Amino acid sequence: GDSVTQTEGPVTVSESESLIINCTYSATSIAYPNLFWYVRYPGEGLQLLLKVITAGQKGSSRGFEATYNKETTSFHLQKASVQESDSAVYYCALGGITGNTGKLIFGLGTTLQVQP
Amino acid sequence: AQTIHQWPVAEIKAVGSPLSLGCTIKGKSSPNLYWYWQATGGTLQQLFYSITVGQVESVVQLNLSASRPKDDQFILSTEKLLLSHSGFYLCAWGFGGGAREQYFGPGTRLTVL
């Protein structure tokens, strides 16, 4: 079936350290998968962080990057130097299901805690 | 700018009681609308989608229903709550089919006792 698996949290890193949150997907019924990272900061709603709809392309936002790798079915989120304000819950999501459902398939979310 | 408002922010309800959650989108004409649900410790699951007023399709059966009485309004309801309905409910809007991102509201936290 279609599913998303991401790094189990919580993930704790120190400020200015690098970060990678792994995301792999299975898209057995989706011809052209689209991939997204969403983020929920404390006290706020779920926000789109970045998206990539073409295999081999990279998306970036707020210093975060993710490359859509069709061969490894991965979409890992990376940041070279995290800040305390990056503490949040990060969700990898899979879209591209044909028809009108517009369904996004989410991973369980990864809680990131950045220590000062 | 588009805004999405959900009400109430939080609810504590008894098993067997009715429920109505609402969502309003301003600044977008005729968007696709979605309801998602997240149980504690679980992932977000799509429950319903609507591409036009008066038409709602169910994706997951959870003894809930949804309606779209106006272009900018989406309602989630049930006549009898179950313990398993507890969780976080998110309304979202988007355009087109699956090849597009969605934008989420702040959510409603529901606790069923």
pLDDT tens, per residue, chain A with 116 residues: 889 999 998 999 999 999 999 999 999 888 889 999 999 999 888 999 999 999 999 999 999 999 999 999 999 999 999 999 999 999 999 998 777 678 899 999 999 999 99
> What residue in A sits closest to B58 (Cα-Cα)?
A101
Question: Going along A2-116, which residue ranges are E strands?
Answer: 2-6, 11-14, 19-21, 23-27, 34-40, 46-52, 58-61, 64-67, 77-79, 88-95, 105-106, 110-115
Tokens standing for residue B4: 């999405």
Smallest CA-to-CA distance from B76 within B107, B103, B113 is with B107
B102 contacts on A by Cβ (under 8 Å): 48, 102, 104
Taking 70 as the threshold, does the pLDDT of residue B99 lie above it? no
Q: Decide if B102 and A53 are in contact by the 8 Å CB cutoff.
A: no
Instruction: Tell me whether B29 touches chain A (CB under 8 Å).
Output: no
Residues 77-116 of A with CB under 8 A from B: 91, 95-104, 106-109
| Least confident interval from A99-113, B61-75, B93-107 | B93-107
B34 contacts on A by Cβ (under 8 Å): 102
Longest dimension (CA), chain B: 39
Taking 80 as the threshold, does the pLDDT of residue B111 lie above it? yes
| Least confident interval from A99-113, B32-46, B95-109 | B95-109
Taking 90 as the threshold, does the pLDDT of residue B29 lie above it? no
pLDDT (average), residues B54-62: 91
Alpha-carbon gap: A51 to the closest alpha carbon of chain B (Å): 8
Residues 33-52 of B with CB under 8 A from A: 34, 41-46, 49, 51
pLDDT (average), residues B29-47: 93
Measure the CA–CA gap between B87 and B107, rounded to whole angstroms. Answer: 10
SS3 B35: strand
pLDDT level of residue B97 (50, 70, 90 thresholds): low
pLDDT level of residue B98 (50, 70, 90 thresholds): low
Q: What is the pLDDT of residues B40-51, one digit of tens each?
A: 889 999 999 999
A91 contacts on B by Cβ (under 8 Å): 44
Q: Decide if A97 and B107 are in contact by the 8 Å CB cutoff.
A: no
SS3 B83: helix
